[in-house]
Amino acid sequence: MALLSNDDLIASAQAVLHRRESGHMTSGQVASTLVTVQGSLYSGVCVDTP
């Protein structure tokens, strides 16, 4: 498994940042990427609802 730098992980998280608003709901303004022991990457965003 190749090690990823912090810059690589930040770039991966930034790739899914797409702020959206719908009524009182916002999504996509906070993102993260995690790496499993097997080397899989999982990225996601926060969805805020009232």
Give residue 47's pLDDT: 87
Give residue 31's pLDDT: 94
pTM (two decimals): 0.75
Give residue 25's pLDDT: 86
Give residue 41's pLDDT: 94
What distances in angstroms separate CA 20 from CA 39, 42, 45, one per listed residue?
A: 30, 20, 11
Residues 4-13: pLDDT tens digits? 899 999 999 9
Residues 1-50: pLDDT tens digits? 568 899 999 999 999 998 888 888 888 889 999 999 998 999 999 988 87
